Each structure stands twice: as structure tokens, then as C-alpha cells.
Amino acid sequence: MAPRGHSADDVARAALRILDDHGLPDLTMRRLATALEVQPSALYWHFPNKQTLLAELSDRIVGRMASGTPDDLRVEAHALRDALLTYRDGAEVVSSTLALGLGSTLAHDRLTAAVAAAGFDADTARRGATTVLHYVLGFVWHEQQRLQYDSLGAREGASGLESDDFAFGLDLIADGLRARAGAGPLS
């Protein structure tokens, strides 16, 4: 029987608040239990371990990107970036979840569909999507690290990454795919 008063959704929402307020290193089961005013063992009714909780958070973060039919690689990559930037350490949560083979494949599936919509075969679409996914995760992870360092005053006068830097890298990947396969543009 599940503990009274808190659903899996309540636990996940509280975990996202802690993630956003304190960052991934401070998202502990003990802190989460304290925030929900329960014993840490009560959390395991909903999530058998911290990795499955992080997979749920990853799915919620990535789920923010889904809308409509994925037919434009750049739109999908920007939507993923925006979703990752919604939460502090969002890229790290999603990246670590994917590395463990947990969570949904929504981001990769949407990117794959966008590459395929440009006329690429299934294997190229899958590989191109993987490349873009890794690019977005890495770019945003770096971006989020800089934001945290800047907020702590650790980097004085340093310039951050710009949105056009992200677009430039994405264009390089899209142009490379097009040149390699001789296919149409990835609008």
C-alpha cells in the first residue's frame, strides 16, 4: 500500500523543485523526504531507487519539447534545448538517464523523425539524431555550468555562450548530413 498523502506525481514535482532550487548534487532522497515531510523509505513506494526517480524527472523535462509532428530538425533541437534549460542541471539529468538506458526515448525519436522527414534513410536518421542529441546535451550542459559559475561570481567578465553559437553548431551538423547523403535541405 502506498503512503497516504503523496502520489508519485507529488514526489516528482517536489524533486523537480529541489533540482531547480539546489541542483542535482543536492537532490537527495533524504532532502526530498524532508520536503514532503515523510521518511525516506516512503519514497520507495513510488520509485524503487534514485535512478528511476531521475528517469521520471528526465521524462518530464524532455516531455516539454513535444508538440506537433517533428518535421524540422532545427525546431526540434531548439525545443530540446529550451526544455533542458527549464530546470537547473536539466542536461545532466537527461544525459545521465540516457547513459543508464533509463527513461523514454522521446527526444531521440523526435530528432530521428525530423531527420527522416528531410528524406534520409532510417539508419542515417537514427545516427544523425544521435549526433544532434549529444550536441544539444553537451551544449546545454556547458551552458548550465557557466550560468551556475556566473551566479556564484566564479567567472568575472567572462562571456557566455550565445544562442547563435548553438544555431551555428546545429547548422554545421545539418549541412554535414546533407553533404554526406546528398539529400535535400534540413530546414
Q: What is the CATH number of the domain that holds 38?
A: 1.10.10
Task: pLDDT band for 104, please (50, 70, 90 cuts).
Answer: very high
- Domain range for residue 21? 1-48
Query: 82 and 121 in one domain?
Result: yes
Residues 121 and 63 in one domain: yes
Query: 86 and 33, same structural domain?
Result: no
Q: What's residue 8's pLDDT? A: 95
Instruction: For residue 148, give Cα distances in angstroms to 22, 59, 102, 140.
Output: 11, 23, 26, 12
Closest among 25, 24, 56, 58 to 43, alpha carbons compared: 56
CB-based contacts of 152, cutoff 8 Å, min separation 6: none
- Inform me whether the pLDDT recorded for 37 exceeds 90: yes
For 58-101, how does the pLDDT look when each residue is reduced to its tens digit (9 = 90+)?
Answer: 999 999 997 888 889 999 999 999 999 999 999 999 999 999 99
Q: Are residues 82 and 14 in the same domain?
A: no
Q: Is residue 187 part of a domain?
A: no
Here the contacts of 58-62 (C-beta below 8 Å, separation 24 or greater) are 58/93, 58/94, 58/97, 58/98, 58/102, 58/103, 58/104, 59/103, 59/104, 59/106, 60/12, 60/16, 61/86, 61/87, 61/90, 61/93, 61/94, 62/94, 62/103, 62/104, 62/106, 62/107
Number of domains into which the chain is organized: 2
- pLDDT above 60: residue 9: yes
Q: How far is CA 100 from the centre of its chain?
A: 14
Q: Higher pLDDT residue, 186 or 45?
A: 45
Assigned domain for 102 exists: yes
pLDDT of 40 reads 92
Read off the pLDDT of each residue in 98-120 and give the average, rounded to a whole number.
95
Q: Examine residue 42 and state whether it is found in any structural domain, yes or no.
A: yes
pLDDT of residue 58: 98
In a domain, 186, yes or no: no
* pLDDT value at residue 149: 74
pLDDT band for position 3 (50/70/90)?
very low
State the pLDDT at residue 6. 86
177 is a domain residue: yes
Do residue 159 and residue 85 come from a single domain? yes
Residue scoring higher pLDDT (158 or 173)? 173
Question: Are both 35 and 60 inside the same structural domain?
Answer: no
70 lies in the same domain as 35:
no
Q: Same domain for 153 and 101?
A: yes
| Tally of CA atoms within 13 A in the half-sphere of 113 that contains its CB | 14
pLDDT at 34: 95
CATH at 107: 1.10.357.10
d(CA 5, CA 23): 26
